[in-house]
A and B are shown apart, each in its own frame.
Chain A
């Protein structure tokens, strides 16, 4: 039925309103109308009645909507009053009501109090439902995404918790380029990153003073590169809460593009690696020391052979002269006094060779076997005064022969028991005297004295030779160091130092006032209570 086919007796609906409603309804077939009186009863109906169920209305029927509307409700605007959708069949309709005329007090009384227009809003409702459905879908999707993110966060925290239990903490780089922990950081991570008490727990590669800061700077470069790979920091240690802790960090880009840094607190892995490296390096050091030892022995052997050969040449020469036959041509027999002189030369050279061999043997012996032997009991310890007196007497003939005086200095105590071994102490003195004799000009004196000082008894051997050149003084007590006078293997002073240092003593050199050399052997006084000597060089 076409709108307007049946005009209400009380007057048609206002054309302007109907036009608007028809527009809303999507065409004339989308609307029906009914006029009603002041009691809300139908006066007339029209428009597209069937689709909206208005065909069942007859004049006089009560219109519930109109009645409600007429029940003293505030007067609605004359148009566009929309009541909740009325479901008819599968259609949705909007019901519009308006008075024939209105004032502030309400509809005006008359045969037709107002009009009700029913408009098919199915299309709009469906559209709205579609929109709503999409909105709901979007909301649902958003909720699903949020749920998934919550799930991921939860999983991340769980992973973080599990890694934390294994001593691994994870830092993730944010959009601002700073790295943050994924959960509450452990105390050690806070200490490593310098976060103690800090509110903003972030770390960047701009602090090269902290190891992690320096590593992050390197990591940024690598991770920003064309082919980012896993980057290891290498191990590092620092003291945290008074304890040395060891760490290692790893930087990587995950498949999602996230950049993370894992910091691991090491213990067992570090110890295993440390042990392996320690062994390897100790082996390397041992090998190096052995190689140096062999080299030194080679040099020593060369020196010994050279020094032993020199006296032999003199002895052989003297013997050949005595036999009266030189190489190649016969020689006349030597006179008796010349023969004695040749024998003396041979004997001296033999003595010299013997002394060299003894020196070598003593050094080797002292080095490998007899280093710890000494006496510090004052009842049996060697008396330095006695050793000095004996040594002077023993050396006197050699000094006489060379025209060098040997004197015992004044002021020696009656006795001076010292830590040491008598035979080796005597050997120390012999070495110093031989050294002094070698460097003393004829007619000068070598003085041996014993002094009691606050550090213990000391033995001093002084000569009037040329002294030791300054460049040689620092090397004087090393092996194979020889002065310009020659005649020694360069082991005598080395033996002296090694021996007295084993007893907790020392030996030093100084230029003597007025020219010459002075060797000062400082020893420890033997006391009633034994005590081990300090380690050499300590």
Chain B
């Protein structure tokens, strides 16, 4: 069994804490509860290695507070991370800009590591201000966002699993392209 650290990054109220809660505890709370600092959680995840062997990974999940003028993300939080999840709120266009800025800072701090981009609040798709194509375009084609909903659970398990698998492959020196929907 190995331990790996991943970080969730994004603007405030994009649903980072709800996504972790859905993934780790299979729960969802309608109330918005802002995060101060960092919330650390763990989950044992089963994945497969590049040669098809089963691999248990203890995922240490750092749910980092939302970035805005009141709280800035410290680059040191990212050290030792094996993977990053950037969360964009589909109903708020401005959260895409924040995610892009955070990605640039993260790359400067820790370089290229497996990354996934979540276009969250898919249950409110009617109210989306930004769609997957726009996210792809804004990131210069680097991001293939995965539509997720912490409320319904849609896409959540899949995107975490996808990241863990990419980490396992990166450990073995192999690259995987991001999987978007």
Chain A residues within 8 Å of B13, by CB: 281, 285
A214 touching B76 by the CB < 8 A rule?
yes
A273 on the interface (CB 8 Å rule)? yes
A211 on the interface (CB 8 Å rule)? yes
In whole angstroms, how far apart are the Cα atoms of A235 and B38 in the complex? 7
B41 touching A537 by the CB < 8 A rule?
no
B40 touching A236 by the CB < 8 A rule?
yes
A237 on the interface (CB 8 Å rule)? yes
Chain A residues within 8 Å of B94, by CB: 288
Given contacts A208-B80, A214-B76, A217-B79, contact A274 B39 (CB under 8 A): no
Identify which of A246, A278, A288, A474 contacts B92 (C-beta below 8 A). A288
B36 touching A270 by the CB < 8 A rule?
yes
Chain A residues within 8 Å of B33, by CB: 278
B124 touching A237 by the CB < 8 A rule?
no
A237 touching B38 by the CB < 8 A rule?
yes
B3 touching A209 by the CB < 8 A rule?
yes
Interface bin, chain A: 20 to 34
B38 touching A209 by the CB < 8 A rule?
no
Chain B residues within 8 Å of A292, by CB: 129
A477 on the interface (CB 8 Å rule)? yes
Interface bin, chain B: 20 to 34
B157 on the interface (CB 8 Å rule)? no
Identify which of A234, A285, A538 contacts B32 (C-beta below 8 A). A285
Chain A residues within 8 Å of B151, by CB: 537-538
In whole angstroms, how far apart are the Cα atoms of A65 and B152 in the complex? 109
Identify which of B5, B66, B74 contacts A234 (C-beta below 8 A). B74
Interface readout for A435-474 with B: 1 if CB under 8 Å, 0 if not?
0000000000000000000000000000000000000001
B38 touching A234 by the CB < 8 A rule?
yes
B70 touching A537 by the CB < 8 A rule?
no
Chain B residues within 8 Å of A237, by CB: 37-40
Chain A residues within 8 Å of B32, by CB: 281-282, 285
Q: What's the least CB distance linking B6 to chain A, in Å?
A: 10
- A207-240: which residues lie under 8 A (CB-CB) from chain B? 208-209, 211, 214-215, 217-218, 234-239
Given contacts A239-B41, A281-B12, contact A273 B79 (CB under 8 A): no
B41 touching A209 by the CB < 8 A rule?
no
Q: What's the least CB distance linking B35 to chain A, in Å?
A: 8
- A240-270: which residues lie under 8 A (CB-CB) from chain B? 244, 246, 248, 270
In whole angstroms, how far apart are the Cα atoms of A142 and B97 in the complex? 66
B100 on the interface (CB 8 Å rule)? no
B56 on the interface (CB 8 Å rule)? no
Chain B residues within 8 Å of A288, by CB: 92, 94
A277 on the interface (CB 8 Å rule)? yes
Q: What's the least CB distance linking B2 to chain A, in Å?
A: 11
In whole angstroms, how far apart are the Cα atoms of A474 and B132 in the complex? 13
A277 to chain B: closest residue by CB: B34
A209 touching B36 by the CB < 8 A rule?
no
Identify which of B5, B123, B126 contacts A208 (C-beta below 8 A). B5
Interface readout for B68-87 with A: 1 if CB under 8 Å, 0 if not?
10110010110111000000
B77 touching A214 by the CB < 8 A rule?
yes
A333 on the interface (CB 8 Å rule)? no
Q: What's the least CB distance linking B59 to chain A, in Å?
A: 10
Interface readout for B116-138 with A: 1 if CB under 8 Å, 0 if not?
00000001111001000000000
Given contacts A209-B3, A477-B126, A537-B151, contact A235 B36 (CB under 8 A): yes
A537 touching B38 by the CB < 8 A rule?
no
In whole angstroms, how far apart are the Cα atoms of A274 and B125 in the complex? 30
Chain B residues within 8 Å of A209, by CB: 3, 5, 60, 80
A214 touching B37 by the CB < 8 A rule?
no
Chain B residues within 8 Å of A211, by CB: 38, 40, 62
Q: What's the least CB distance linking B64 to chain A, in Å?
A: 10
For the A-B complex with A248-B37, A281-B34, A478-B126 known, give 6 more contacts whose Cβ atoms are closer than 8 Å.
Answer: A211-B40, A214-B77, A281-B66, A281-B68, A285-B13, A479-B126
List 29 A–B pairs whose Cβ atoms lie within 8 Å, in order of A's numbering. A208-B5, A208-B81, A209-B60, A209-B80, A211-B38, A211-B40, A214-B76, A214-B79, A215-B76, A234-B37, A236-B38, A236-B39, A236-B40, A237-B39, A238-B40, A239-B41, A273-B36, A274-B34, A274-B36, A277-B34, A277-B71, A278-B34, A281-B13, A281-B68, A282-B32, A288-B94, A474-B125, A537-B151, A538-B151
Top 3 closest A-B pairs, CB basis?
A208-B80, A235-B37, A236-B38
